[in-house]
Amino acid sequence: MQKSILLFSIFVFSLFTSCGQNKKTDYVVTIKTEYGEMIAILYDETPKHKENFIKLAKEKFFDSTLFHRVIPEFMIQGGDPNSKKATPGQPLGTGGPGYTVDAEFVPQYFHHKGALSAARLGDGQNPQKASSGSQFYIVQGKVWKENELKIDQQKLGMGLQQMLAKPENKTLYDSIVKIYQAGDMKAYEACIIGLVPRIVKETGVPVIKEMSADRLNAYTTVGGAPHLDDQYTVFGKVIKGLEVVDKIAAVQRDRSDRPTQDVRMFITVEELSKKKIEKLYGYQYPEVKK
């Protein structure tokens, strides 16, 4: 009896998932700012975030809120309702609709340039990594070198420290210090990277980390913010208007990374056929596996 119920449940879930993936329409998100418009789509694989964002947009929740935190080569963040009538210099980033959204980590969605992701409280207050109910950010990031992506910087520092602490490596230590003091950071970086095999051999510290081919390709071409991967929910992407992200990320800002001149947003959502979305914006939906 229980086995039959379980099988039926699996069947219904599979049918529901399949129907969602085969749906012929989708929502297009338009984020309007004085710097231009950003067009985004939201992922079906993060249904809680998608449903919540669409609901808030339809309720005009985001309208007149600010991009209250911008950091070049990183991201632009907004969605705090407290920002609508914020005075100059007022601290922002704590507002929301009064609830959080469960984390929805999907391996194929990561923090490449244009990724639309949910902000959240830090792990200390939020070990479940639940997302803010309204605050989100759009990644600008930067283009990375392959060796930067494949090396765990924290473990590299740990391994280097252990290796240089050995008396027999005093000469190596002195030469590294000399390069650093000369102020040639490129030479210093090249020197440290060149020591990776030796660090691994002498200390056993696992400096090299794995990264999937699609992430590696994206981060070394279009760029992004890989250190955020698998820590914050990515629930959509900008498919048109990436230049607007660049313009907003470049505005003058104060010590809290808030733009000195308010950057307001107005968000609308529209349901269109997927074929029309592909034609209008050049976005290609992934093929549904049968």
> How far is Cα 260 from Cα 238, in angstroms, rounded to an integer?
25
- Name the residue among 123, 73, 79 with its Cα closest to residue 230: 123
Distance, in Å, from the CA atom of 182 to the CA atom of 186, rounded to the nearest integer, reads 11
Q: Residue 211's closest CA among 145, 275, 159?
A: 145
207 Cα distance to chain centroid: 23
CA distance 93 to 83: 8
Distance CA 246, CA 184 (A): 29
Q: Which helix (H) or strand (E) holds 67?
A: strand 65-71
Cα-Cα-Cα-Cα dihedral sign, residues 86, 257, 250, 36: negative
Is domain 25-145+211-281 given the CATH code 1.20.210.10 in the classification? no
Question: Is 15 a residue whose pLDDT tops 80?
Answer: no
Report the pLDDT averaged over residues 61-69: 98
Domain ranges of the chain: 25-145+211-281, 152-203
At residue 189, the pLDDT reads 84
> What pTM was computed for the model?
0.82
pLDDT > 90: percent of the chain? 78
pLDDT at 183: 84
**β-bridge partners, 139:** 75
For residue 249, give the H/E element and its range. helix 242-249
Lowest pLDDT segment from 14-28, 76-90, 107-121, 175-189: 14-28
